[in-house]
Structure 1
Amino acid sequence: MSPQDGIAVAVNPGVKVEVTEDAVLIRQGDHVARLVGGRLPAFTEALLTVLSDGRRTLDVGSDIDDTRRLALESVLTQMTEAGLLHRDEAADDLHDVPPAAVGMWLRVLRNVPLRTVQTRLEQATATVLGRGLLAERLVTSLRDAGVRTETAAVPDAVPETTDHVRDVVIVAGESESDPVLGEWNTQALKSGRTWLPVIPFDGRRALVGPWTLPSESACFACYRLRRAASFPDRALIDDILAARPVRDGGERAALWPGLTTMQVGLVVERVVEWFGLTDTNAGLATPGGLHTLEMTSSGLRLDTHRLFRVPRCPECSPARDRGYPMIWFHPDAGVPLHRHDDTDGGRRS
């Protein structure tokens, strides 16, 4: 590239830069790259100040001599190798691609091409099923993240899709027994739609998950069975499973706005990661994976769980209508059968 054309550069948005009197520290998490040079700290500060206004190229001027141009190229190369800068086409991509796609690209250490992440995000659709404040917050936050988002008030209004695995339905229920969760669970098992339940704080915990891939992971009926089985008062388990909710008009999501914000953030991270990185690199999209936000005596706690299928779940188990295997066979003629009341091992004199 000639000096007249300028040098296309972009700052890596995932790093933090700090300087000392004689060094530049490029920090990304616990990783720190250190560049040392006499005037390098001052040059770095000046360079980042120039680029902070959105400038896409460095105009080095047409009258620069070869020695200074080579020195500049050497410094920019060091910064690029240290992860501070991106050059040429990579720089253009960073300027043009939405921030959420850049974030996913950085999450996998740039192992998936940035434009690929962008294309995946643009082609995917999330549908928020439900009513109320939690559903509204989910829609707003997903759209703010650049996710194409549809809404549906009832299961039958969920738009059709050509990709049942990629396109996700997020179901915002008022409680674990909200009929919309059970109805959508049944529909998802028939259609194969990937979906994610979200339940507001109930006084003890808020729920995001389980991440449901029908016929591959636990369904919501599995979740309810396992939750009921762990309830400390066993006399109430049958009632808990059979009970139906009574609409009270309250907005649980409005009572604990901070917890609701955290829930929504977990959903956005899961969905954006699933769309941008697919199941190959999406660590949050573990089949059956769920997050709980719990208020304990020591404060707020975020836990990650893995829900496994109930072997004879009445909704999703292929063995639900089959009998238990019986150890039984027709005896051969003339062979005496063992009797439990025999005292001589079944032998008769």
Structure 2
Amino acid sequence: ALDPATPARVALVGDMIPSLLTGLAEALPSAELGDEADADLVIAAGSRPALRDVGARMHAAGRAWLPVHPFDGRFQLVGPVVVPGEGPCLECVALRWASTTPFAADHAAAADAVAVVPRDPSLDAITAGFAARYAARWIHAHDWLVASTVLVVEPKVMEAEAHAVFRVARCGTCGPRPYAGIVSPWRA
């Protein structure tokens, strides 16, 4: 954890509409924006394929990062801070989220089809604020609450709620070997 008086080095990456990335930069005024390689935290805002690419790089490097998921028309997800080997990864979040839908088997294909479209500036401001808060809590305090919860913003009803998310035992990315990727009817 960094001393709050020390400027954090943050990298903003992804293919999300630039207004969200600009909002994040404005919401983190004490942060020094830099390259992914020397950042204290990488914040990735983008499509699911872009987030998977960032997740693969961060997992291989053993570095923490914060995903800002694409808005799917109903929900905007922020987090959790992904800490390789410690908490849930991006795939765990996707598997847990899919398990709450009536079309779990088709969820990945449907979610991947979400296009990066022009965004609502007010939703970008809300999302950037929440992402900046998650980032600050991780960088300055290593607050494990932000590494174990996904924030679900539902703009239609003006609600935001943190949901606990756990590692998935059969996760192909972070699940324990030799069980990773094995389908089990008894586990989510």
Decide whether aligned partners of structure 1 residues 247 and 294 sit closer, same or farther in structure 2, where only a CA change above 3 A counts.
closer
Match of 2:106 among 204, 214, 239: 239
Q: CA deviation at 1:247?
A: 8.2
8 Å CA contact 1:290, 1:306 repeated in 2: yes
8 Å CA contact 1:198, 1:209 repeated in 2: yes
Decide whether aligned partners of structure 1 residues 186 and 257 sit closer, same or farther in structure 2, where only a CA change above 3 A counts.
same
Question: Does 1:147 pair with 2:31?
Answer: yes
Decide whether aligned partners of structure 1 residues 202 and 323 sit closer, same or farther in structure 2, where only a CA change above 3 A counts.
closer
Q: Output the CA distance in 2 between the equivalents of 1:247 and 1:203.
A: 9
Q: Output the CA distance in 1 between the equivalents of 2:180 and 2:150.
A: 28
Decide whether aligned partners of structure 1 residues 274 and 187 sit closer, same or farther in structure 2, where only a CA change above 3 A counts.
same
8 Å CA contact 2:77, 2:153 repeated in 1: yes
Aligned to 2:186: none
Query: How well do the aligned residues superpose, as a CA RMSD in angstroms?
Result: 2.6
Amino acid corresponding to residue 172 of structure 2 in structure 1: P
Q: CA deviation at 1:249?
A: 6.3
Match of 1:302 among 155, 160, 168: 160
Higher RCO (Cα < 8 Å, 6 or more apart): 2
Decide whether aligned partners of structure 1 residues 248 and 314 sit closer, same or farther in structure 2, where only a CA change above 3 A counts.
closer
Equivalences for residues 3-22 of structure 1 within 5 A: none
Amino acid corresponding to residue 129 of structure 1 in structure 2: V
Q: CA deviation at 1:216?
A: 0.4
Q: Output the CA distance in 2 between the equivalents of 1:314 and 1:269.
A: 29
Q: Output the CA distance in 1 between the equivalents of 2:181 and 2:26.
A: 45
Decide whether aligned partners of structure 1 residues 313 and 140 sit closer, same or farther in structure 2, where only a CA change above 3 A counts.
same
Q: CA deviation at 1:301?
A: 0.8
**What SS does structure 1 have at the residue aligned with 2:153?**
strand
Q: CA deviation at 1:230?
A: 1.5
Is the radius of gyration larger for structure 1 or structure 2? Answer: 1
Decide whether aligned partners of structure 1 residues 223 and 294 sit closer, same or farther in structure 2, where only a CA change above 3 A counts.
same
Aligned to 1:117: 4
Q: Output the CA distance in 2 between the equivalents of 1:244 and 1:291.
A: 17
Q: CA deviation at 1:193?
A: 1.0
TM-score by length of 1: 0.46
**What SS does structure 2 have at the residue aligned with 1:273?**
helix
Identity of matched residues, %: 29
8 Å CA contact 1:201, 1:259 repeated in 2: no
Q: Output the CA distance in 1 between the equivalents of 2:117 and 2:97.
A: 24
Q: Output the CA distance in 2 between the equivalents of 1:249 and 1:204.
A: 14
Aligned to 2:137: 273
Amino acid corresponding to residue 307 of structure 1 in structure 2: V
Q: Output the CA distance in 1 between the equivalents of 2:115 and 2:31.
A: 32
Q: Output the CA distance in 2 between the equivalents of 1:138 and 1:213.
A: 20
Q: Output the CA distance in 2 between the equivalents of 1:322 and 1:202.
A: 26
**What SS does structure 1 have at the residue aligned with 2:37?**
coil
Amino acid corresponding to residue 294 of structure 1 in structure 2: E
8 Å CA contact 2:169, 2:180 repeated in 1: no
Decide whether aligned partners of structure 1 residues 275 and 323 sit closer, same or farther in structure 2, where only a CA change above 3 A counts.
closer
Q: CA deviation at 1:262?
A: 0.9
Decide whether aligned partners of structure 1 residues 127 and 232 sit closer, same or farther in structure 2, where only a CA change above 3 A counts.
same
Decide whether aligned partners of structure 1 residues 323 and 243 sit closer, same or farther in structure 2, where only a CA change above 3 A counts.
closer
Q: Output the CA distance in 1 between the equivalents of 2:80 and 2:102.
A: 22
Say how many residue pairs are matched.
178
TM-score by length of 2: 0.81
**What SS does structure 1 have at the residue aligned with 2:127?**
helix
Q: CA deviation at 1:159?
A: 3.1
Aligned to 1:293: 153
Give unmatched runs, 5+ long, in structure 1.
1-115, 151-157, 325-349
Amino acid corresponding to residue 82 of structure 2 in structure 1: T
Q: CA deviation at 1:215?
A: 0.7
8 Å CA contact 1:222, 1:313 repeated in 2: yes
Equivalences for residues 213-224 of structure 1 within 5 A: 213-224=83-94
Give unmatched runs, 5+ long, in structure 2.
184-188
Q: CA deviation at 1:246?
A: 5.6
8 Å CA contact 1:259, 1:293 repeated in 2: no
Aligned to 1:183: 53
Q: CA deviation at 1:189?
A: 1.6
Aligned to 1:259: 123
